[in-house]
Amino acid sequence: MSYNRRKFISFMGKAGLGTVVMPQFLISCGSTATPTNGFGQISKEKLSTLKAFDLMGLSATNKDDLVLANGLDYHTVIKWGDKISDTDTFGFNNDFTCFIPFDDNNPKDGLLWVNHEYVNPLYVSDFDAKKYENPSEHRTKEQVDKEMYDVGGTIVRIKEENGAWKVVENDPHNRRINGKTPISVNWDSPIKGKSTIIGTNSNCSGCITPWKTFLTCEENYDGFFGETEYDEAKVATHRNSYYGWENFYNYPPEHYGWVVEVDPKDGTAQKHIALGRFAHECCTLYELEDKRVVAYTADDKNDEHLYKFISSKPGSLKKGTLYVADTINGIWLALDWKTQAVLKSNFKDQTEVLIRAREAAKLLGATALNRPEDIEIDPVTGNIFVTLTNNKPKGDYHGSILKIEENNGAFDALSFKAETYLAGGDENGFSCPDNLAFDMSGNLWITTDMSGSSMNKEDKPYMSFKNNSLFVIPRFGADAGKIIRVVSAPTDAELTGPWFSPDGKTLFLSVQHPGEQTVDKNNPTSTWPFDADNIPKPAVVAITGDLIEKMNLLNRIEVNS
Ligand code: FEO
Ligand code: CA
Ligand code: CA
Ligand code: CA
């Protein structure tokens, strides 16, 4: 379906029909709806006083820089290799970011969590994979150790002073979670014989829980320890990983591919088995009135699925049921060994169903989707938006955004309506949507992820889009419903992890894998962020300026407590 501007406005128009009830507690990946126990609403009066302002977007560019629309500035908060303490440094390829202030009355001092998804061996371990046909066989243990250190996540205290966010070096909260951190298993039986797993990797997107911990999602885990695969006779074999870490650390693939929770206070972590095992892009939580939680999570692989977990106990990510979406018929199908005969006959217990969730989902008739990535809940309507980034073998090069309306707006409903909200492509000026975020006024921000090997190439269908970018779709005013490019990424990079500070004055954003197509270290394709080392470095930036403040605050959705 092509994009239809009127449709967006009518979807907003719903907000004008008297009082729109906002979720009782809405906090999700990249959403900035202020956590509240009250209800948000846009009243008729409010709609009549909406303030319009001009927004000058950027044209597509292939410049090796972080290019910003008028009204925006940026500074680098932290980049790969920066010291966070006497013993630790910031990891590689930062993705999801989020920020929790220590004190709700002071939005300028708190903890930043950052995911580190994977490493570029050329820079991290001085390993040139291109020299070998089977690179994983040639790494040394020392190189693997360096790589394991630079994935996972970082907790770091940051403070804003005179308009600039700075790391508080050596704050006792500062720590790394990485490929070697012991992490407990939140499940009643061990996973491949262990109740404690060593390390996390492939940490892509995530969210803050209603109880103020971080969720970090293990996405392309098979790149690090491989995967266990089963043939028709149910015989298991090991598929080797790209990075070859299993050559030195014999950890089972089943220990990875989970949603991981990290406590910012002390860095303790746990893997949530009940949410299933697959390439988790993200996890978006919604807390129901009775404090049970609903967790939406997506499997970013061609033809994989969209899932949701509904807890049966308040605040639990263990007790409850995992469902997978049949988007054709609008049904959530229970991945429940006890009640589903087809699961009983194919798996030995619920633990195996969760470990092999992809196979279980297919047996139940889950819908194959085009690489579902980020998920956000609209703070005004409660609709759920899911980016489907692309599916090249199926001819979907530009992706789309799926809109889900749960039956009667109930997040624990077992039926729903799904439709395409917006399609990528030349007509709409963007391709391969990935991360989403709603700001305080309900404007929708979208980052794109065209792969480094396809961008700006004459023989690929991405030429006209130039570099990956951040777009915004304003909700109100003269620009309502337009898709406006506001930030363009450096060469080969992807912008990830958009997160607004609690006062709406800063947009934290990750610049991931600049210069990723570099072949010769001495001649990199990018040198962003242009520091003294003159090499490309992933970094988290703070974007500030008039435009961020206007977007967030001029038409801020009111939240009553
Ligand atoms: Fe890590 Fe699906 O992006
Ligand atoms: Ca998000
Ligand atoms: Ca992503
Ligand atoms: Ca992606």
Gap from CA of 26 to ligand 2 centroid (Å): 13
Ligand closest to the CA atom of residue 496:
3
The pTM of this model reads 0.93
> Hey, whose CA ends up nearest to atom 1 of ligand 1?
204
State which residues have CB under 5 angstroms from ligand 2, the bound ion: 29-30, 374, 435-437
pLDDT of residue 18: 28
Is the pLDDT reported for residue 561 higher than 50? no
Task: Answer yes or no: is the C-beta of 494 below 6 A from any ligand 1 atom.
Answer: no
Using omega within 30 degrees of 0 as the cis cutoff, is the peptide bond preceding 474 cis?
Answer: no
Question: Tens digits of per-residue pLDDT, 296-315?
Answer: 999 999 999 999 999 999 99
pLDDT of residue 525: 98
Ligand closest to the CA atom of residue 202:
1
Neighbours of 230 (CB within 10 A): 11
DSSP secondary structure letter of residue 520: S
Task: Answer yes or no: is the C-beta of 374 below 6 A from any ligand 1 atom.
Answer: no
Assign 121 to helix, strand or coil: helix
Question: Tens digits of per-residue pLDDT, 381-427?
Answer: 899 999 999 999 999 999 999 999 999 999 999 999 999 999 999 99
Residue 559 pLDDT grade (very low, low, confident, very high; cuts 50, 70, 90): low
Residue 560 pLDDT grade (very low, low, confident, very high; cuts 50, 70, 90): very low
237, 313 contact by CB (below 8 A): no
Is the pLDDT reported for residue 372 higher than 80? yes
**Mean pLDDT for the chain overall:** 91
Q: Which of 37-51, 208-222, 402-416, 498-512 has the lowest mean pLDDT?
A: 37-51
Gap from CA of 468 to ligand 3 centroid (Å): 12
114, 97 contact by CB (below 8 A): yes
Best CA proximity match to 253, nearest among 218, 205, 212, 283: 218
Is the pLDDT reported for residue 52 higher than 90? no
Atom of ligand 1 nearest to the CA of 117: 1
The CA distance from 134 to 244, in Å, is 10
Atom of ligand 1 nearest to the CA of 202: 1
Average pLDDT over residues 118-129: 97
Torsion of CA 313, 318, 320, 325, to 10 degrees: 140
Alpha helices per DSSP H over 153-200: none
Ligand closest to the CA atom of residue 115:
1
Gap from CA of 174 to ligand 2 centroid (Å): 24
Atom of ligand 1 nearest to the CA of 220: 1
Task: Answer yes or no: is the C-beta of 160 below 6 A from any ligand 1 atom.
Answer: no
Gap from CA of 235 to ligand 2 centroid (Å): 38
216, 207 contact by CB (below 8 A): no
DSSP code string of 276-307? --S-EEEEEEEE-TTS-EEEEEEE-SEEE-EE
Residue 558 pLDDT grade (very low, low, confident, very high; cuts 50, 70, 90): low
The CA distance from 219 to 225, in Å, is 13
Gap from CA of 191 to ligand 1 centroid (Å): 25
Ligand closest to the CA atom of residue 298:
1
Task: Answer yes or no: is the C-beta of 218 below 6 A from any ligand 1 atom.
Answer: no
Atom of ligand 1 nearest to the CA of 281: 2
Gap from CA of 477 to ligand 2 centroid (Å): 24
- Pairing mode of beta strands 331-334, 558-560: unpaired
The CA distance from 441 to 341, in Å, is 47
Residue 479 pLDDT grade (very low, low, confident, very high; cuts 50, 70, 90): confident
Is the pLDDT reported for residue 29 higher than 90? no
295, 29 contact by CB (below 8 A): no
DSSP code string of 44-69? HHHHHTPPP----PPPP---SS-EE-
The CA distance from 541 to 355, in Å, is 36
Best CA proximity match to 230, nearest among 137, 369, 355, 323: 355
Atom of ligand 1 nearest to the CA of 373: 2
Gap from CA of 559 to ligand 2 centroid (Å): 21
Buried/exposed code over 252-277 (b: 16+ C-beta within 10 A; e: otherwise) = bbbbbbbbbbbebeeeebbbbbbbbb
pLDDT of residue 48: 66
Gap from CA of 373 to ligand 4 centroid (Å): 7
Question: Tens digits of per-residue pLDDT, 520-530?
Answer: 999 999 999 99
Assign 269 to helix, strand or coil: strand
Average pLDDT over residues 251-267: 98
Burial class (CB in 10 A: 0-12, 13-18, 19+), 86: exposed
Burial class (CB in 10 A: 0-12, 13-18, 19+), 97: buried
Assign 338 to helix, strand or coil: coil
The CA distance from 287 to 290, in Å, is 8
Question: Tens digits of per-residue pLDDT, 186-208?
Answer: 999 999 999 999 999 999 999 99
Residue 45 pLDDT grade (very low, low, confident, very high; cuts 50, 70, 90): low
Residue found by looking up tokens 């999602």 in the block: 217
Which residues are within 8 A (CB) of 267 and not within 5 positions of it... i.e. 6 or more apart? 155, 175, 177, 181
